[in-house]
A and B are shown apart, each in its own frame.
Chain A
């Protein structure tokens, strides 16, 4: 399917475990982003990538790791999950007619127990 997909859609994990959230886009957009959404905070940027092998920190990067070996994939890893990382995670890519429009995936709801 064309577009941007995320997996899994729902995940429950225990404190201290490593978990990886996957993001895949089919448009070959250069820029990709990871956000977390929490009540009262809106969307906060975790990491972003301008191209394969180029990543940079966003507003709240602590406790997260990203990689981008291929243009279409941008996985987000929580190295040692904490309860404060319970959130909804959205992946996005940037493109469109202007080149500035962001397209979002459906989200992953992560619960850390």
Chain B
């Protein structure tokens, strides 16, 4: 069975500071990994994904995540956050044979001036 752990429920950070949101997964087979973002009162939007190939994946708004197979992690990073990055971030995993995603419990990123 697959599972996802997001170690931090809330991460407060000042604008222009770097941030890392942690995600660890457990699965005995190959996985597909995703980060989704949820702005207040909205649905989830795909931020970035790892399916295969380069272990470092990037989004269009400056976020990046690195797949680390040995540590079973897929941490999300941004070198300089903006107020508009304030949102809930969900890590999700799907094994190659499964039909569905398993989500972590989410990390609330709160960016302040």
Contact = CB atoms under 8 A, between A and B. Distances in A.
B43 interface: yes
B49 A101 contact: yes
Interface string B21-43: 00000000000101010000111
Query: Which of B43, B99, B105 has its CB near the most chain A CB atoms (within 10 A)?
Result: B43
A72 to B, nearest CB: 18
Q: Is the interface of A mostly helix, strand, loop or mixed?
A: strand
B83 interface: no
Contacts of A45: 100-101
Contacts of A42: 90, 103-106
B46 interface: yes
A100 B94 contact: yes
A96 B100 CA distance: 15
B79 to A, nearest CB: 25
B91 to A, nearest CB: 9
Interface size class of A (residues with CB under 8 A): 20 to 34
B13 to A, nearest CB: 21
Contact of A103 (B41, B46, B51, B105): B46
A41 B49 contact: no
Interface of A: 31, 33, 35, 40-45, 48, 50, 56, 58, 90, 92, 96, 98, 100-107
Interface of B: 32, 34, 36, 41-46, 49, 51, 90, 94, 99-101, 103-106
